[in-house]
Structure 1
Amino acid sequence: MYRQLFFWMFLFLIPEVCISNSWKEAQKHKTGTLEVYWFTSVPFIYEEQGQLHGIEYDLLMEFSVYLQETQGVELSIEWIEAENFHSILDIMKDPESPDILGTSAFSITEDRKLYLNFSDAYLPDITVLVTGQGTPIARTYQELKEMLDGKVAVTIKGTSYENLLRNLKDQLNIDFEILHIHSDQNVLDNIAESENRFGFIDLPIYLMLMKKGGDLTRQNLYNVRGTGYGVIMPRASDWQIPFNQFLSDPRYGEKVARIISNYLGAELYEFIENLYGGTEIGTSILTKEKELQLALIKNANLKLQKDRNIKRVLIVGIIFVSIFLGVIGFLFFKNRRNTRLLITQKDQIEAQQNDIRQKNEQLMNRNLQLIALNEEKNVLMKVFAHDLRSPLGQIIGLSDFLNTHAEELSEEDKELLIQIGTGAKRINQMISKILDVEVVEGTRSIVLREQVDVTQITEDIVSRYRMAAAQKGIKMELSHKHDDQIIETDHMLLFLVLENLVSNAVKFSDTNTCIRLETEKQDESVLFKVCDQGPGFTEEDRELLFSRFQKLSAKPTGGEQSMGLGLSIVKKYVGDLGGRVWLETPNGTGSTFIVSLPI
């Protein structure tokens, strides 16, 4: 009888002594165990000399500390290396237990949410399109399509990178090969092996490459902002509850930020956090790239200075050695054998001195080249900032126009319009701060000679300004008076020249007028004519026409701003292209700016 009683008591007590690994049971018994599947994804999680490192490893270890300190739960973590990235997703789909997690820089996506649970995002998820070293930056989707057609895309099977590549192929109707690499390989390293390759990569990894001096090209047309990175777990798991509490706890927020900063660097982490809530992702990333390039140039200059100091010390040392050898030669003058040996040593030292002197001159020349490139880069940045003012002005004008006709819009749409206008004006103010008198003082310009389709570039200019012109009741016309539409010149500089002239024509023309862009061949040149029916120019205006920061008698007809830089930049760019620019006033009305470029 006692044996039966003991047996039933034992059965009754079994649920109390058996410890489940779920969060609910872990709270009850103050202990729990998690199996964490991982696969190499630097800097998120990786193994080095037999020890795990990375953002996600440190976060989970800090999470165990958080449970002990706030919940009194002692958490044991078993780290299990998976076969590859995709196998972790398969394990989460059909788990043997709900008490497992997955880490390998998983992006939070809607299709994965159908069969997984995600923690809250611990880091913003921004993906950029990167092409091989030396490839140009595409300015339009057509250029991007032509650039990527027939190339090789590098990706990892089962990742969000692969999905983005397939979406890119469908959206632009591009035919390219997809090369799948192993999960522990680096996408950027594979892209760098050939100019023929490209692929998507996380922004933090790309910026870390840039910081180290990497020389791949980021295409600004495709910057994809995702929901963020999170830890994954099965649908039946409830471990996202304490992990989300850990991420949102203000007392541990500083620790989480410090963990991520240890691997990305505090500067990059702060930049990515601030970038995620902004609207101008492409512009912000471009600015950060320029900052990293400036830092590399500065470090290179410091290294050159250090090398020069070392060379000076070596030269002084060699001089003292030469003196010492001279003394020895004098003392052993009578000994032919020793004299020959000393002469040979002296010749060797002199050869070394000449070699060091040549290397020192090479280093000095390289330093001068870097300084010149740095100055030229500053000039180009400021000219680029000025050229941004025109499209920003269009955005501001369009947002103001829509605001005046927003009676039928919802409050949410009105708020979005206000945000668009405010953001554009803020960027315009920032550009005004960047833009100073040095913007057109550069004495050199990098001109890239290439085959340029005159029809394409003029149609692009007209299409960009047709809407702005239509809002002022201005008609845009395009005319070509020659058959050969291909010239050899710099596409970017020619585009900026024509854009400035057409932008000025729209800015200073009255309602119900016409602007015409014409091209014609004349001898060995191609003429680009921008004709308007505006107020024209006085004799005093003509003397100051192409000077810097000169505001002429004509005023913008739509309240637009004018810095007085556009025509001076046109003059400089046309000169760089080996051409001429001048003004004609046919029939005494309107203005016609003519740009002549050699074929």
Structure 2
Amino acid sequence: MTNTMGSLAMVKRLGVMMVLLVVCTLLQAQPVSGRGDSWQEVFNNKKGTVTALWDDIEPFIYINKDGVLQGVEYEIMESFKSYLQLKYAIDLTIVWEPAGSFDSIYGKVRNSPQPGVFGWSYFSITPVRQKEVQFSPPYMPDLNVLVTNNLEPMYASSQEFTAKIKEMRAYTMAGTTMTEDILSLKKSFYPALPVTYKEQDYDVMRTIAGDNKGFGYVPLSVYIVALQKGIKVKRQHVLSSRRQGFAAIMPLQTDWKPVMDEYFSSDLFRIKAGAIIAKYLGSEVKDLVFENVQESAPALDLVSLEKEIVTKRLMDTAVEVQKHRSFRNIMLVLFVSVILLSLVLYNRFQTKQKLNRQLSAKNDQIEQMNQLLKLKILQARMNPHFLFNSLNSIQYFITGDDKKASLQYIGRFSAFLRKVINYGDELFINVKEEAELLTEYLWLEHCRFHDKFDYEIRVAPGTQGAAILPLLTHSLVEEALYKGVLNLTNGHKGKLCIEFVTEEDTLVVKVTDNGISRQDAARLDKKKGMMNGDDAMLMRRIDLFNAQGKRKITTSKAVWHENGTALNNATLEIPQPLFEQL
């Protein structure tokens, strides 16, 4: 049974491999969509069109952040076009066609019946490929270097590395000379070596950077660019491989090779190619790439350049971090300045309103709480009359020599202010914390009006963790208290109920009282010449929240009738989660 299952699994794997092979073959067999005129046609007509196939790989050919095609190979091909215009007065049009992959470019060029098709993807000149395609002269030396994970030691000899190859995993790009180098090591030293194929050399190096036992081959120029990009791999100084160079490829039957050879052997090309390579790799890197193709090239120069690149990368990172710190410090200074300015404006406002916030010298604790309130009043938006009435109550207890009541009231008042200050800087708090704030507030008010009303705060199970804006319900509770229950006459005792419940993805807050109607309260305020902006303040906070996203807080008011008693009800519906992204 086990053998049968193993055979089935093997058949499935072979089937998948066959499908992939067929797909790759079909992709390579697809014809080039653009024109590929012959050199003879272009020369006779003094104009024509050729197609250049390419795949995105920096610095050879790629699309920059502005969406423009550029790179070493792109500019070399475009300079060839300029050369034909200058020497032969030929107007050549180059159609740049993305081919999708290294293998796809090679297959399309090899199978193309059109002579004017060029492939650009840093192709190495090898004897096997020379039997299938034509090559331009090399524009750049071809040196593959061995790279490993940064945690690997620096191997002193080839024998030292190959002795450990059984513990390692290889990564490479299919159909390349890097794969040839990997397979050569596999054949010579460890036939069971696992090899994983990636789409690009940068993918190979990123994978090696994340695999402690990973290694692979990459072109020296690509390795240096990867270092500049911050990809952390280690170049080993052993087992590097050299080939004739990087070049463009053309179909075997092309007649463009002689004129390409002519341009590549010209002084103009040597000057132009050097400038192009220096542009994308830097002059020092260009010199090292060209020098290191020589056996006698000074390896110390490359080591120094690697250290310089890594050091520059670290310095750039440090500068970026410092910029962020400076920005944060500037924002902190601005924030503190705004707080100080707010305090100054608040003090001026208090002076204009002739509010007496001076407490006796015997009560330093009350003065300290008053200063804390000044610091946070604009954020908490507490009603000033509650503060003054509370201070008057404390003064009443003190002058009445009721030390126990004074200390108890001061302690609860202090606890309430501490919570207001702590939550004043928070973007949101949970229902449990909001209910605690209301409990402290109503205890203080009940201490002053203990025979006027009773209160109840209900938090439904599973609701304590729901999010709410700090002190959002305070205005509704204060309105119910001062507009409703405290205006009852004829000995009627008020009842205030606050309820927090969750309905699907919404937190519902209901504030209910049995006091006088809001219309009667408005008439009383008008008669007394009083105006209250608490409701407008609440709506401003809700409007500001609703303007910042799709989730909306809604509010409504109604009059209910229960057992012949009219009840004033205010309801808040708060979406959960409160913010779409936190």
Give the TM-score normalised by structure 1: 0.49
Residue 166 of structure 2 aligns with an amino acid whose one-letter code is D
Residue of structure 1 equivalent to 2:166: 149
- Partner Cα separation in structure 1 for residue 99 and residue 143 of structure 2: 25
SS at match of 2:205: helix
**2:38 aligned with 1:22:** yes
- Partner Cα separation in structure 2 for residue 64 and residue 92 of structure 1: 19
- Partner Cα separation in structure 2 for residue 257 and residue 71 of structure 1: 24
- Partner Cα separation in structure 1 for residue 316 and residue 100 of structure 2: 41
In the alignment, is the contact (CA less than 8 A) between 1:124 and 1:273 conserved in 2? yes
**2:263 aligned with 1:263:** no
Which of 57, 62, 67 does residue 41 from structure 1 map onto?
Answer: 57
- Partner Cα separation in structure 2 for residue 93 and residue 282 of structure 1: 37
Residue of structure 2 equivalent to 1:530: none
**2:338 aligned with 1:340:** no
Deviation at 1:338, TM superposition (A): 9.5
Flag the 1:255–1:57 CA change in 2: closer, same or farther, 3 A: same
Flag the 1:185–1:82 CA change in 2: closer, same or farther, 3 A: farther
Flag the 1:141–1:255 CA change in 2: closer, same or farther, 3 A: closer
In the alignment, is the contact (CA less than 8 A) between 1:37 and 1:100 conserved in 2? yes
- Partner Cα separation in structure 1 for residue 269 and residue 234 of structure 2: 37
- Partner Cα separation in structure 1 for residue 215 and residue 93 of structure 2: 42
Deviation at 1:87, TM superposition (A): 3.1
Q: Which consecutive residues of structure 1, in runs of 5 or more, have no partner in the other structure? A: 1-18, 353-599
Deviation at 1:334, TM superposition (A): 5.1
Deviation at 1:178, TM superposition (A): 1.0
Residue 114 of structure 2 aligns with an amino acid whose one-letter code is S
- Partner Cα separation in structure 2 for residue 90 and residue 303 of structure 1: 45
Residue 214 of structure 1 aligns with an amino acid whose one-letter code is I
Which of 282, 285, 288 does residue 302 from structure 2 map onto?
Answer: 285
Residue of structure 2 equivalent to 1:118: 135
SS at match of 1:276: coil
RMSD (Å) for aligned C-alpha atoms:
3.6
Flag the 1:84–1:349 CA change in 2: closer, same or farther, 3 A: same
Flag the 1:120–1:348 CA change in 2: closer, same or farther, 3 A: farther
Deviation at 1:302, TM superposition (A): 4.1
- Partner Cα separation in structure 1 for residue 235 and residue 187 of structure 2: 21
Deviation at 1:196, TM superposition (A): 3.3
Deviation at 1:329, TM superposition (A): 6.0
Flag the 1:324–1:204 CA change in 2: closer, same or farther, 3 A: same
Residue 340 of structure 1 aligns with an amino acid whose one-letter code is L
SS at match of 2:240: strand
Deviation at 1:166, TM superposition (A): 0.9
Deviation at 1:231, TM superposition (A): 0.4
Residue of structure 1 equivalent to 2:289: 272
Residue 194 of structure 1 aligns with an amino acid whose one-letter code is D
> Deviations 1:172-201 (Å, cap 9, x if unpaired)?
336421112235973222323432322111
- Partner Cα separation in structure 1 for residue 200 and residue 229 of structure 2: 23
SS at match of 1:186: helix
- Partner Cα separation in structure 2 for residue 339 and residue 328 of structure 1: 16
In the alignment, is the contact (CA less than 8 A) between 1:20 and 1:26 conserved in 2? no
Residue 293 of structure 1 aligns with an amino acid whose one-letter code is V
Residue 217 of structure 1 aligns with an amino acid whose one-letter code is K
Which of 118, 127, 138 does residue 144 from structure 2 map onto?
Answer: 127
Residue 199 of structure 1 aligns with an amino acid whose one-letter code is G
Query: 1:26-105 to 2 correspondence within 5 Å?
Result: 26-47=42-63, 51-105=68-122
In the alignment, is the contact (CA less than 8 A) between 1:130 and 1:199 conserved in 2? yes
SS at match of 1:125: strand
Q: Which consecutive residues of structure 2, in runs of 5 or more, have no partner in the other structure? A: 1-34, 358-368, 380-419, 427-582
Flag the 1:20–1:264 CA change in 2: closer, same or farther, 3 A: closer
Residue 124 of structure 1 aligns with an amino acid whose one-letter code is P
Give the TM-score normalised by structure 2: 0.51
Flag the 1:313–1:198 CA change in 2: closer, same or farther, 3 A: same
In the alignment, is the contact (CA less than 8 A) between 1:329 and 1:342 conserved in 2? no
> Deviations 1:53-88 (Å, cap 9, x if unpaired)?
332222212211210111112212233333532233
Query: 1:216-295 to 2 correspondence within 5 Å?
Result: 216-277=233-294, 279-280=296-297, 282-295=299-312
Larger radius of gyration: 2
Deviation at 1:26, TM superposition (A): 2.6
In the alignment, is the contact (CA less than 8 A) between 1:35 and 1:80 conserved in 2? yes
Flag the 1:312–1:37 CA change in 2: closer, same or farther, 3 A: closer
- Partner Cα separation in structure 2 for residue 198 and residue 68 of structure 1: 46
